[in-house]
Amino acid sequence: MTYCVGMKLDDGLVLMSDTRTNSGVDNISVFRKMFHWTKPGERLIAMMTAGNLATTQAVISKLEERSKAPDDRQNSLLELPTMFQVAAEIGKLLRETVREIQDENGMQGMGRFTASIIVAGQIKGMEPRLFMIYPEGNFIEASFDTPFFQIGETKYGRPILVRGYDKDMSFEDAVKLLFLSFDSTLKANLSVGLPFDLLVVKRDEFKPLHERRIEYGDPYFDSISSGWGEALRSAFHVLPDYTFYQNAPAAKTK
Amino acid sequence: MTYCVGMKLDDGLVLMSDTRTNSGVDNISVFRKMFHWTKPGERLIAMMTAGNLATTQAVISKLEERSKAPDDRQNSLLELPTMFQVAAEIGKLLRETVREIQDENGMQGMGRFTASIIVAGQIKGMEPRLFMIYPEGNFIEASFDTPFFQIGETKYGRPILVRGYDKDMSFEDAVKLLFLSFDSTLKANLSVGLPFDLLVVKRDEFKPLHERRIEYGDPYFDSISSGWGEALRSAFHVLPDYTFYQNAPAAKTK
């Protein structure tokens, strides 16, 4: 499994992904799931992948090759004119890659080689944009109402994001919120694991503002993980207490 | 979908379930998923169900019939000597019910008519016990290490339970914690909905200590739901802040 979150803020974009891949519980590995390409001063394009590792690696390799092969340069992520076209091109490549391997495996391949991708970035003169691409190659864009996307094991880490997200929060607060969301997921699903990759992209900078791998034993992550239990307990006690008698007009206390 | 939680505390048992059933998003109804039988002063047995509604209603009806039909009374929940045998009997009934309808539908029935059940209760002279029964009829029991069970849409509401549960918490705190867990689930999955059913069973009382339906617009639930956002934000700000420079020795800030 995997857990990746891409978040759009007033100030820019924040992306975080885990690095665990597994085939069963006794075959786990560390693989990078976050990638980015930059043309300094002009564009930054980042991607995070979830799903079949062979599929996502094939997509990434094809994108890498294109950015180097001169005759296919018009479809390179570094040349396409808008983020919408970038998302469409990645979607097309994903669909083709999934379809190819599925066709080769017939009925047995149905649904087994799929993947999802989050694409985020900005091209000079345009807004930062955030997309989620489905295995079918179609995609949706983050909006004011849905300002972040999750792929992989999305459920455990969602409630804290829904409660904590604010589009005008600082990058530092956004990273703290992501750490909490990843901590909740980590505690519940063995197939999501450290290290994490973090990328912060400030609007109109076209290069990473902050890029880091959070390793096992990271002191800040540990302080968040251990402090959150205590902080939650305090928050819990701030809330009004339930009583069997007063607050409950319909209570039948036998 | 459904969301039910059964929790074992030092003081007894707390159970909460939603009541929404759906077949698609345009066909939703309210059905009770929590049931209990008592022999005052001697035993209380409670059940919560998730899964195919026809299956779970059939299981409940058969149990009800047995408790009334004199010739089958030895298998009635009110007569079986231990909670283990109660769980085994309900498991057997569930397996038979699922298998019957699946067999009648052949390949098309595979996996479609399944259900899970949480069973909780106490019989005089013995400890309160909590079980989770799988569609196959086998079951597991809550222990010191895993003191609560969830069925249905379990993921969204799990992190707060993991963080907040304490076996010596009061019934009032346990109810507050369950409200938070249900609130997180409600906010994320349309197919879990109010009203909720709540049952609190005190150790060695063999009757409900507190039993209630929490309706839409319940003032206490609303105060928890609206207060939690604020309380979480305070908790969030108590945690140490992330910085791109100091706390992150491995940071590459470009």
For A200, phi then psi, to 5°, come to -120, 125
- The pLDDT tens digits for B64-78 are 988 887 666 677 899
CB contact (8 A) between residue B176 and residue A241? yes
**B115-123 and B129-133 beta bridge pairing:** antiparallel
The answer to whether A188 contacts B164, with C-beta atoms less than 8 Å apart, is: no
φ, ψ of residue B177 in degrees (nearest 5):
-60, -40
Tokens of A29: 């590995």
Band of the pLDDT at B89, cuts 50, 70, 90? very high
- Least Cα separation, residue A187 to chain B (angstroms): 8
Alpha carbon of A235: minimum distance to chain B alpha carbons (Å): 5
Within a domain: residue A43?
Answer: yes
What is the domain count for chain A?
A: 1
Strands A43-51 and A34-39: antiparallel
Q: Is B12 helix (H, G, I), strand (E, B) or coil?
A: strand
Domain assignment present for residue B254? The answer is no
Q: List the structure tokens of A41.
A: 């001063």
B62 within some domain = yes
CB contact under 8 Å between A228 and B208, yes or no, is no
Peptide bond into A195 cis (omega under 30): yes
The end-to-end CA distance of chain B, in Å, is: 48
Give me the phi and psi of A84, to 5 degrees please: -60, -45
Contact A27, A178 (CB under 8 A): no
CA distance A239 to B229: 10
Cβ pair A160:B220 closer than 8 A: no
Nearest to A159 among B162, B188, B219 (CB): B188
The answer to whether residue A248 sits within a structural domain is no
Q: Is the pLDDT of residue A250 over 50?
A: no
Instruction: Give the pLDDT confidence score for residue B252 in this predicted structure.
Output: 42
In chain A, which residue's Cα lies nearest the Cα of B237? Answer: A173
Cβ separation B187–A159 shorter than 8 A: yes
Q: Please list, residue by residue across B89-102, b when 16 or more beta carbons sit within 10 angstroms of its beta carbon and e when fewer do.
A: bbbebbbebbeebb
Report how far residue A69's alpha carbon sits from residue A66's, in angstroms, rounded to the nearest whole number.
5
Average pLDDT score over residue span B50-57: 95
Residue A253 lies in a domain: no
Give the list of residues 6+ apart from residue B26 with CB closer than 8 angstroms, or none.
none
Q: Over 90: is that where the pLDDT of B7 sits?
A: yes
Residue (of A78, A3, A114) closest to A48 by Cα position: A3
Supply the range of the domain harboring residue A9: 3-238
Residue in chain B closest to A206 (alpha carbons) equals B254
B247 domain-assigned:
no
**Would you place residue A25 in the very low, low, confident or very high pLDDT band (cuts 50, 70, 90)?**
confident
Name the band, by pLDDT with cuts 50, 70 and 90, for residue B254: very low
Structural contact between residues A210 and A171, judged by C-beta atoms closer than 8 angstroms: yes
Band (pLDDT 50/70/90 cuts) for residue A14 is very high
**Burial classification of residue A246, based on how many CB atoms lie within 10 Å of its CB (0-12 exposed, 13-18 middle, 19 or more buried):** exposed
Q: Tell me how close the Cα of A71 comes to any Cα of chain B, in angstroms.
A: 32
With beta carbons under 8 A apart, name residues in chain B contacting A216: none
Mean pLDDT computed over every residue of chain A? 92
CATH number at residue A213: 3.60.20.10
- C-alpha B13, offset from chain centre: 11
CA-CA distance, B34 to B245, in Å (whole number)? 53
Q: What pLDDT, on the 0 to 100 scale, is given for residue A254?
A: 38
> What's the pLDDT score for residue B250?
46
Whole-number CA gyration radius for chain B: 21
Q: Which of B191-201 are b and which e, b meaning 16 or more Cβ less than 10 Å from the residue's Cβ?
A: bbbbbbbbbbb
pLDDT tens-digit readout, B177-188: 999 999 999 999
Cβ contact (<8 Å) for A253 and B210? Answer: yes
CA distance A185 to chain B (A): 8
Q: What is the pLDDT of residue B73?
A: 67
Whether B14 and B174 have beta carbons less than 8 Å apart is answered as yes
Q: How far apart are the CA of A115 and the nearest CA of chain B, in angstroms?
A: 22
Beta bridge partners of A133: A117, A139
Residue A192 belongs to a domain: yes
Q: What is the pLDDT of residue B246?
A: 53
What's the rounded mean pLDDT across residues B134-163?
95
The closest CB to that of B220, out of A207, A248, A253, belongs to A248
When pLDDT is cut at 50, 70 and 90, the band that residue A73 belongs to is: low
A246 falls within a domain: no
Peptide bond into B195 cis (omega under 30): yes
List C-alpha distances in Å: A75 to A72, A201, B126: 6, 23, 72
Lowest mean pLDDT among A119-123, B103-107, B149-153, B183-187: B103-107
Question: Contacts of residue B177 in chain A, CB cutoff 8 Å?
Answer: 236
Residue among A175, A212, A228 minimizing CB distance to B250: A212
Whether A248 sits inside 8 A of B207 (CB atoms) is no
Nearest CA in chain B to A197: B251
Q: Where are the beta strands (DSSP E) in chain B?
A: 3-8, 12-17, 20-22, 28-30, 34-39, 43-51, 115-123, 129-133, 139-141, 148-152, 196-202, 208-214
| CB pairs < 8 Å spanning A and B | 158
How far off is chain B from A132, nearest CA to CA, in Å?
A: 19
Q: What stretch of H or E contains B180?
A: helix B171-188
Q: Tokens 């180097």 sit at which residue?
A: A68
- Under an 8 A CB cutoff, do B162 and A227 touch? no
Pick from B162, B172, B241: CB nearest A187: B162
* Cβ-defined contact of B208 to A236 (cutoff 8 Å): no
Q: Closest residue of B to A178, CA-based?
A: B242
> A205, A220, A237, A241: which to substitute to probe chain B, counting the most B Cβ within 10 Å?
A220
- Say whether B159 and A188 touch across the interface (CB within 8 A): yes
The reply to whether residue B212 touches residue A238, judged by beta carbons under 8 angstroms, is: no
The answer to whether the Cβ–Cβ distance between B212 and A175 falls below 8 Å is no
